[in-house]
Structure 1
């Protein structure tokens, strides 16, 4: 029996005379009483975004994913390979490295911080935080093409949309603010799988990401529709929503197998609450000039990504469980020096400011910050000073959230082409992220199509070497 529809036809059943008089004097009558019945029933049902206990004690409570769309060059940034400079210009078909002219790193590498991590001048400000970073220099994924690799980075498999990592984590842990979504994506790329990268697929729709803006416009121009009703005041809007929800509950009772209806009901309720909460969270103008400068806001080069970073910090601080921010354009088959340099300049300062700010507010210790693209780039040159896709060896990094700081895990070969020591497959990467959040990846499942689905498919091992 649906608790939201099971009530007496008597207007006074279950309600005091005072409640009845208050409701009728407000002009809502039976509708107001139905709303009260709904609220009472909801009090006995845990909302789907309510915080949930992890499988075991967690190191991280929340995730901030810095998504570098297009495949940044690891051999020019975080994977120091002096052999590339030594043999630059020579064609070497060694091992599995295709025959091609090796290309020296464009930016100079230096050892950074007390940890001595090798990081290049492409990211000088991130390099100043070397002692916070945990580099994974032995990443590998299954395909070297953008859409499937991007999809696999987000959803676990390259062949079809599945629930995204943010949706799985929100499903497993809920949110930490009932008035905000559990999962937000800022300025995602409309291509490379599009909405599948922040979708919930077969999970209930309430766990999908809330999109703000897209990668083809500055985030300052992003508009969130319907944050205010153009005609109705809040009480009238609530009454209208209660009536619509009655119809939805009736439809749900007729079609209990239709998960989309439940998702619609929850989304309506969350959207109503978000009208009050979200505008203030996104209002970065309330931040001090000092904080805005820290993030590079107001600087033409860094303003857009800096705004994303600051909005993300405000959302994490307010209780959003998983925030993804995006910067595209890293696909340099030619003109790598100029274009990689341009994209790095846009994100380097804001990310450094973000790490400083998170640490200063005491958030970094239990926030897992992730920096990753869908793959890396080849050690050999392509076309006009560019590099091709490389999925057999590349680098991502973590910070905060229980990882070893100032640490480097795994290695590629001497040219940076293939992972050869402690390789980390994308399934291992996902398993480790879930582990840091207190989730056992083999137990975070959802029954669909006759079997228990999970983010890591049927593979994946936690990379214990990076755990703090």
Structure 2
């Protein structure tokens, strides 16, 4: 039995108990992640930032970025022209069709798995799931290599889910936000708990904890919890928490992004990136359209169109797009032939992703699928290649070996090669 690990867990329970009963507050959801991210001592080595819009459930290529109007497989979704000659999008994406000069659309993506969990893990980490190792996500990698950009705000934030720090450890954990409209909740102490009283109670909690810390002095995770809570308290008292409040935006700006969870998530992502957060993932589900595709796409398509177009316009107007890579990803595609429930089933052989900003050259479509969008017919792009491209755009050392606690070497690119034509 790993006694240090058991003591670590015991200490977590102890601190939570003290915070709740002695300090007069309930710690906000994700507080440990907030403080862990904020306690990183890295310096800003690069100005690169990233917003990852992950369409959870497997977005249909035919009904978004790779329609096939001359194929009987296209189904009921209409097709529209884009700003690029000869390039068409789904009828659900008119705003994005008018700004294809800013987009690099990859139409020849293909994955090795057609299961949601493994597919999402592969897209977010560049590795297949294995029992012995949990791999880091992009936010953790960016903090590990480049450090944080702001002294109070975390390096990375996840809105609606994402990948944790894996073997890099809790220091590099992203801050979770469940509802972008609410931001980080439960951040205020009761009125009777002044800062002075709070500090005295923290000192009391520390005195209770001395013997425990002495027994676990060589445990890095346990030793970091004192700093973790100091940084968390500093963040709770900081004016920088306002970056998480999209209600501070003018009503006309909120309307441009839309009232969907994706729209609000994109607006929060822009606020956080502008304030000094390095990485934000916005997860948006319900793309698993095994049935009633027409009805589902009539909602999901326009929501993506409105949110992404507003985000790109906002970043460009604020001078942030050149240094901010915006990624639209999904775990795999959908089968061209519609099933008997008027939907499309899982299909890892072909799907589309989109890149914009962050050094990516817009106004291009990379790769092609066959006439039915069934398989990648020209310039196929693996998940590993896609992620190697992202890593290159983010100035990450994609070939450098990093070691897990067990001593296993891993690289960010894994077996992938960046797509040079996209830069």
| TM-score, with structure 2 as normaliser | 0.82
1:33 maps to which residue?
none
2:301 maps to which residue?
344
Aligned length: 382
Are the equivalent residues in 1 in contact too, given 2:102–2:356 (CA < 8 A)?
A: yes
Q: Name the CA shift for 1:447/1:354 in 2 (closer, same or farther; >3 Å).
A: same
**2:415 maps to which of 452, 459, 462:** 459
Cα distance in 2 between the residues matched to 1:47 and 1:309: 26
**2:153 maps to which of 180, 193, 213:** 180
Q: Name the CA shift for 1:374/1:348 in 2 (closer, same or farther; >3 Å).
A: same
2:63 maps to which residue?
76
**1:410 maps to which of 367, 371, 388:** 367
2:103 maps to which residue?
133
Cα distance in 2 between the residues matched to 1:405 and 1:233: 52
**1:65 maps to which of 38, 41, 52:** 52
Structure 2 SS opposite 1:142: coil
1:202 to 2:159 alignment: no
Q: Name the CA shift for 1:248/1:172 in 2 (closer, same or farther; >3 Å).
A: farther
Q: Name the CA shift for 1:233/1:328 in 2 (closer, same or farther; >3 Å).
A: same
Q: Name the CA shift for 1:237/1:397 in 2 (closer, same or farther; >3 Å).
A: same
Q: Name the CA shift for 1:208/1:380 in 2 (closer, same or farther; >3 Å).
A: same
Q: CA deviation at 1:254?
A: 4.9
Are the equivalent residues in 2 in contact too, given 1:204–1:262 (CA < 8 A)?
A: no
Q: CA deviation at 1:49?
A: 4.4
- Once the two structures are superposed, the pairs formed by residues 3-82 of structure 1 within 5 Å of their partners are 48-53=40-45, 61-82=48-69
Cα distance in 1 between the residues matched to 2:57 and 2:388: 23
Q: Which runs of 5+ in 2 are unaligned?
A: 1-37
**1:446 maps to which of 397, 403, 415:** 403
Q: CA deviation at 1:244?
A: 5.4
Q: CA deviation at 1:412?
A: 1.8
Q: Which has the greater radius of gyration?
A: 1
Cα distance in 2 between the residues matched to 1:408 and 1:415: 17
Q: Name the CA shift for 1:181/1:229 in 2 (closer, same or farther; >3 Å).
A: farther
Structure 2 SS opposite 1:387: coil
- Once the two structures are superposed, the pairs formed by residues 311-390 of structure 1 within 5 Å of their partners are 311-390=268-347
1:108 maps to which residue?
78
**1:148 maps to which of 118, 126, 134:** 118
1:163 maps to which residue?
136
Cα distance in 2 between the residues matched to 1:439 and 1:248: 39
Q: Which runs of 5+ in 1 are unaligned?
A: 1-45, 55-59, 89-102, 189-196, 297-301
Two-structure CA RMSD over aligned residues (Å): 2.6
Cα distance in 1 between the residues matched to 2:234 and 2:374: 49
Q: CA deviation at 1:436?
A: 0.8
